[in-house]
Amino acid sequence: MKFKLSFLLLAMLFISCQEKHKSPHVENSKTAIETNLWLDYSKASTTFKLWSPTAELVKLNLYKNGFEGEPFETHELTPSMNEVWTKKISKDLAGTYYTYQIMLNNKWLEETPGIYAQAVGVNGKRAMVIDLETTNPSDWNKDKQLELKSPNDAIIYELHIRDMTIHPQSGSSIPGTYLGLVETGTKGPNEVATGIDHLRALGITHVHLLPTYDHYSIDETKLDKPQFNWGYDPQNYNVPEGSFSTNPYDAEIRIKEFKTMVKAFHDHGIGVILDVVYNHTGRTETSNFNLEAPNYYYRFWEDGKPSDASACGNETASEKAMMRKFIIESVSYWAKEYHLDGFRFDLMGIHDITTMNAVSETLKKINPNIFVYGEGWTAGDSPLPMEERALKKHITKMPQITAFSDDIRDGLKGSVFDDKSSGFVSGAKNTEESVKFGVVGAIQHPQIDYQVVNYSNEAWANHPWQSISYVSCHDNHTLFDKLKVSREDADNTTLIAMDKLANAVVMTSQGIAFMHAGAEMLRTKKGEHNSYNLPDSINQIDWNWKVKNAHVVDYYKNLIALRKAHPAFRMTSANEVRKNLEFKTVKDGLVSYQIGNYANGDTWKDILVIYNANTKVYDYALDDAWQLAVIGDNFTLDDGKAISNMIKVPAISMLIAYRK
C-alpha cells in the first residue's frame, strides 16, 4: 500500500508539472522540493548544487575572477534521484568565481551563475564562493529591525538609490551609491539637509527601495558613463545590484555596502523594504532559470506560446513547486542575511494566492514585524485561473498581506491612464465615495456606497492595514505633474494646494501611508509618464526644489508628525474603524468625518477631519466646541484655538479639530 501511495504521489507531481511543449520529465521527485539548493561553504569544503531535471550532463567551471579568462578547473556534477546535481570540493574556495553549464540535446547551454547565487562578479555573469560572515559590517549582530504594533504604523517613502544623491548639489561624496544614500551631514543648496538627514527630518518610518538586486540594465563595467534604470529586469535575485556599490568587480563589496546601508537606516530608526520582482525575468531564453531548467519556471498557453501577464516578455509560474520554493527561500534569505523589514511585490497578481500566503507566513516566523505588500493586479492576461491569482480583490484570502489601493490613488487625482482625468482634489465630481473608501482602508463600512467607488464595488480588505493609501509612486506621472497636466487652467498656487490636500488625505487615512520620493518638494519629471530608463536629468531629486518649496516640505513634515502622534489615524481592525469613525457632511467637493472614543488609545477623545476640495471657503457648522489643530498650513497639535458654531474651511485644504 505504501508503495502504491508513493507511486501515485510521484505520478501526480509528474502530471501537474509536465506540459506538451516541455521536455518529458520535470520535477518527478518530492525530495527536490525539500533539498537545500544553496551553496554549502566551509573552509574545509564547498558543495555545489543545481536542480536540473532535464540536463544530460552538468559541469562546474572555476575562475580566478568574475569577468575574464578561461576556467582554471572544470568538474562534472553527479546526478541524484531527486534531480539535484552535486559536486563537493574539499578545499577552501572562498573568493573563487564559478559558473554552471548544462547539456541538453547533446549541446552545452550558456554558462550561468545559478539561481541561488549569493555573490557575483561584475555584470552578474559569474557567481563567487563567499564566506558571508566576512561581509558583515561592525556590530551587525547588534543590528535591530523596526518593531511595529501594526503595519499601518508604517509611513513608507519609495525611492530609487541613484535618484536621491546623483544631483550635483546633493552634497554626497559618493553619489548614486548605497553608502552615499546613508552619508550623514550632506548639504544641498542653501545648506538644506539632503540624503538620510532629509529622511530623518521628514519623519518617515521606512524606505522602500526600488529594485536593488542585480539586474541586467546597467553595464557595471562602464559606471563612468551615466546610466539609469528602475531595475525591473531581474538577473540575479539574491545579490545586491553592483552599480550602486563602489566596486562592482569585487563580489564582497556590494554585499557589505548594502548591509552597511541597512544598518545605517536602522541606527536612525528607519526600516528598509525591498521591491522584489519574481513575476518575470529580464530575459527569457537566456535567463538563469532557463539555463538550468529550460521552460520549467515559466507559464505557457495551451498552444505552447509563452504567456506575458507582466507585459515584460514572460511570466513566472509561482504555482509550480520549485518556483514557489525559490520565491519563499529567496525572500527568507534577504530577511535573514540582510535584516530587511519588508517586501513589496511587483505585479503581485501574477503570483498565486497559496504562494503569497506561504511567503508571508514564512517571513512572519523570521520576524513578526516584517510586512508584505504588492500590486494587486497584472499587466495582461495569464493562464493562471482568475480565482487563484493574488489580486487586490482576493486580499481577504491573504490575511497577512497588503495591496495598493488604486481606488484612493485615482479617486484623489484622476486616472493614471488618462492625462486629462481629474480627481477629488482637482475638481472632479462624484469622487467622494472613492475618497471615503480610501479613508477607511478598503474595509466594509456601513456609510459607503460601494456601487459608486471607482474600481471596487465591494470591500476588499479584512483590516485597514491591508490597504496601501497613496496618490503617487515611481510609475506614471509624479503627483505634481499629474495635477498640472490634468488641470492646465489652474495656477501654481492652486496646484500646490491640490498637491498638499491629496497627501493630507493619504496621511489621515486608515491604511498604510505611502509616498513617492520628492513629493514633499513638488517633484517633477518634466511631464514624463514612464521614466524607467530616462536620464538623471528626468529622474534625479533636484535639491533646489527643497529650497524653492520649503513651505510644502514643512507641510509634509507636519502631516507625518500628525499621523505619528495620533494613533486614531491608524486603527488596527475593521471593527475599530466601524465603531469609531463616522462620516458627517459629504457633498460635492467636501468630505468630513469624526473619530471618537479615544480611538486606538489616542490622547484626543474626538477628532473632526474636513477635506474641502472646493475652490471657495466652506462654512462648516459645528455641533459643539472644538479646538483647532490644523487649518491651512498651520498645525497646532497642543492647546489649539477654541472654535464653536461655525468654522471657515479654506479652499482646497484640510481642517482638523479635536476634543480632549
Question: For the chain, which residues make up each domain, given as ranges?
Answer: 35-135, 580-659
In sequence order, what DSSP letters do the residues of 10-74 get, joined into one string? HHHHHHHH--TTS-S--S--HHHHHS--S-EE-SS-EEEEEE-TT-SEEEEEEESSSSSS--SEE
Helix and strand numbers (H, E) in the chain are 16, 28
For every residue of 218-271, DSSP letters joined together read S-GGGTTS-------SEEEEEEE-GGGSS-TTSHHHHHHHHHHHHHHHHHTT-E
DSSP 344: E
Mean pLDDT of 389-399: 98
Domains 35-135 and 580-659 share a fold: yes
In this predicted structure, the answer to whether residue 372 has a pLDDT above a threshold of 50 is yes
Convert the pLDDT of each residue in 24-79 to its tens digit: 344 445 678 999 999 999 999 999 999 999 999 999 999 999 999 999 999 999 99
Cα 262–Cα 375–Cα 652 angle in degrees, nearest 5:
90
pLDDT at 225 over 90: yes
What are the CA-CA distances from residue 491 to residues 426, 497, 500 (Å)? 12, 10, 15
Q: Are 499 and 479 in contact (CB under 8 A)?
A: yes
**Could you name the CATH architecture of 580-659?**
Sandwich (2.60)
Q: What is the dihedral of CA 234, 240, 241, 242, to 10 degrees?
A: -140
Q: Tell me: the pLDDT tens digits for 264-309?
A: 999 999 999 999 999 999 999 999 999 999 999 999 999 999 999 9
Q: Is residue 402 helix, strand or coil?
A: strand
Query: Residue 573 is placed in which grid cell?
Result: 481592525
So what's the pLDDT on residue 2? 32
Beta bridge partners of 75: 60
The answer, yes or no, to whether residue 3 has pLDDT greater than 50, is no
Question: What CATH number was assigned to the domain covering residues 35-135?
Answer: 2.60.40.10
For residues 520 and 202, is the Cβ–Cβ distance under 8 A? yes
- Distance CA(454)–CA(408), nearest Å, equals 9
Q: What is the pLDDT of residue 31?
A: 79
Q: Residue 23: what pLDDT? A: 37
Which residue in this structure is represented by grid cell 502504491? 4
Of the residues 346, 406, 433, 536, only one is catalytic, namely 346
Q: What confidence score (pLDDT) does residue 30 get?
A: 64
Has residue 557 got a pLDDT over 50?
Answer: yes
In a 3-state reduction of DSSP, which class is residue 122?
A: helix
User: Region 587-608: what's the mean pLDDT?
Assistant: 98
Average pLDDT over residues 547-556: 98
Catalytic, out of 275, 292, 375, 602: 375
Task: Identify the three-state secondary structure at position 318.
Answer: coil
pLDDT of residue 567: 98
What is the number of other CB atoms lying within 10 angstroms of the CB of residue 204? 28
Query: Which DSSP letter does residue 596 get?
Result: -
Tell me the pLDDT tens digit for each residue of 338-357.
999 999 999 999 999 999 99
Query: What is the percent of the chain with per-residue pLDDT over 90, rounded to a whole number?
Result: 95
Q: Is 215 helix (H, G, I), strand (E, B) or coil?
A: strand
| pLDDT at res. 29 | 53
Instruction: Tell me if residue 639 is catalytic.
Output: no
Cell 544623491, residue located:
165
Say which residues have a Cβ less than 8 Å from residue 71's Cβ, sequence separation at least 6: 61, 62, 63
- Split at pLDDT 50, 70, 90, the class of 319 is very high
The predicted structure's pLDDT at residue 18: 37
Active-site residue flag, 337:
no
**Cβ–Cβ contacts within 10 Å for residue 592, how many?**
19
The residue-averaged pLDDT of 626-655 equals 97
- In the chain, what's the furthest Cα-to-Cα distance? 86
Q: What is the pLDDT of residues 93-127, one digit of tens each?
A: 999 999 999 999 999 999 999 999 999 999 999 99
